[in-house]
Structure 1
Amino acid sequence: MSAAGMSSRDAVLDSAGRLFGERGYRGVTVRDIASDAGVSAALVMKLYGSKEKLFAAAKPDESLLSELDVPAAELGATLVFRVLMRRERGLQEPWAMLPFTIQDSPTPDAARADTRERYLTSMAGLLEDPTPDRRYASTVVALMTGFGEAVRTLGMFEGWDFDELVAHYGAIVQSQIDACRPARP
């Protein structure tokens, strides 16, 4: 076990998921992952056999939907707040990276299907979306992916007051979260 209490395998998966989520498949080397995990590149290859197999095992950053212990009425603003805080801190934006990570993967169709399923399942759970097609979860994921891209890639909303933007776009996201409530049995 490492000093952080993780096995080498877990440390490699954690590093790989985060780095692939931040930089995409082509932007990360096995050496980058090994260095970040505090292990040798040879150990990474011994554990996973190839970068492609490691990518398949590692789930790019899913922290977007974790640790969201807020009332349902605050979820839209909280999601938007997190995007803006990452921008303020100069951190990578996983919502903006989702499309790039999928297209950049060695198997884009498989990555698309896997990512879509993971995010829709997580979001549907947060929203308690009862619809068979997870329409509200789909809409919220689409809104957040678009917002992440707009803010980080296109530089949209420059000059907006931080709190005003959280309230404005948070209300748009929240409208879909709230629309899900009447759909519940």
Structure 2
Amino acid sequence: MSSPSREAILASASRLFGDRGYRSVTVRDIASDAGVSAALVMKLFGSKEKLFAAAQPDERLLGELNVPREEIGAALAFRVLMRREREMQEPWAMLPFTVQDSPDPEATRAEAREKYLGHIAALIGDTTPNRRHAAVVVSLMIGFGEAVRTLGLFDDWDFDEVVAHYGALVQAQIDACPVA
């Protein structure tokens, strides 16, 4: 069930958890930011843990990438920049918070590792031990997501220049991965 209050709470929770992490955000902080009562937040979500889970980035943002293998690096970089332009959540930038600040960091780490690493490994056809090339691509994307969203390192660059430059770095790892 979707309502304006629920959507406002999720938007506030997503932004606050992304900016400050799980432990530093209270239900009262989220309620205040969303313009609702803390009681309504608890009524709709049941607990801070459930709200945290509901506020995670949409997993579809990582999927639906249908480009030739030689364009994957640029496509991944493009998506990060487009999410910034549209003021959408950035899954790559939120991943460290999601794991470190989770109510159960070890379980969240295992789940996130498999989701992100598995997705990229399947996307690039990485069957190497420990999915080494996919691991480097995931690392590069987490760093890029953080650099773009948290540090604003590419704010002064031309959009297409960033896509070409960073996309080439990611693509180098993809190209180094033997095709299965």
> What TM bracket, shorter-length normalisation?
0.7 to 0.9
Determine if contact 2:22/2:97 at 8 Å carries over to the other structure: no
- Call closer, same or farther: CA 1:166–1:107 in 2, change over 3 Å: same
Deviations 1:58-115 (A, max 9, x none): 6933234211111111111011001111122222322111101211111122211211
Task: Give the letter aligned to residue 67 of structure 2.
Answer: V
Counterpart for residue 166 of structure 1: 163
Please state whether the residue corresponding to 1:133 is helix, strand or coil. helix
Determine if contact 1:76/1:177 at 8 Å carries over to the other structure: yes
More deviation, 58-67/78-87: 58-67
Please state whether the residue corresponding to 1:97 is helix, strand or coil. helix
Tell me, yes or no, if structure 1 residue 60 matches structure 2 residue 56: yes
User: In the aligned structure 2, how far is the partner of 1:168 from the partner of 1:155?
Assistant: 16
- Call closer, same or farther: CA 1:82–1:124 in 2, change over 3 Å: same
Task: Give the letter aligned to residue 94 of structure 1.
Answer: P
State the shift of 1:43 in Å. Answer: 5.8
State the shift of 1:170 in Å. Answer: 0.3
Q: Which runs of 4+ in 1 moved over 6 A?
A: none
State the shift of 1:29 in Å. Answer: 4.3
Aligned residues: 164
Deviations 1:10-29 (A, max 9, x none): x99xx69x949856545474
Deviations 1:112-159 (A, max 9, x none): 121111111111111111112100110100000000111111111232
| Structure 2: 5+ residue stretches without partners | none
What are the equivalent positions in structure 2 for 1:103-142 lying under 5 Å apart?
103-142=100-139
RMSD: 3.2
User: In the aligned structure 2, how far is the partner of 1:145 from the partner of 1:101?
Assistant: 12
What are the equivalent positions in structure 2 for 1:1-80 lying under 5 Å apart?
19=14, 22=18, 24-26=21-23, 27=25, 29=27, 41-42=42-43, 44-45=45-46, 50-52=47-49, 54=50, 60-61=56-57, 62-80=59-77
- Call closer, same or farther: CA 1:87–1:71 in 2, change over 3 Å: same
| Structure 1: 5+ residue stretches without partners | 4-10
User: In the aligned structure 1, how far is the partner of 2:65 from the partner of 2:100?
Assistant: 28
Residue 141 of structure 2 is aligned with which of 140, 144, 147? 144
User: In the aligned structure 2, how far is the partner of 1:88 from the partner of 1:57?
Assistant: 25
Counterpart for residue 85 of structure 1: 82
Identical counterparts, % of pairs: 58
User: In the aligned structure 2, how far is the partner of 1:82 from the partner of 1:169?
Assistant: 12
